[in-house]
Amino acid sequence: MKKVLMAMALSAALVATPASAQPYAGAGIGNSKADASKTSYKLFIGLHYNQNLGYEVAYNNFAGYPGARADSWSLAAIGLLPLDNSWDISGKLGVTENHTKFVDSSRHLDLLVGIGIGYNVTKDIGVRLEYEDFGRIPSAPNTVSATVTNWGINVKISFR
CB atoms within 10 A of CB 120: 18
At residue 134, what is the residue type? F
Phi and psi for 9 in degrees, rounded to 5? -65, -40
Q: Rounded to 5 degrees, what angle do the CA atoms 113, 156, 15 make?
A: 75
For residue 63, what pLDDT is reported?
A: 75
pLDDT digits (tens, 9 = 90+) for 81-99: 999 989 999 999 999 998 8
CATH architecture assigned to 2-158: Beta Barrel (2.40)
Q: What is the pLDDT of residue 104?
A: 63
Residue spans of the chain under pLDDT 70: 1-20, 64-68, 102-105, 139-144
Taking Cα atoms as reference points, which of 142, 131, 109, 136 lies closest to residue 35? 136
Is there a contact between 90 and 66 (Cβ–Cβ < 8 Å)? no
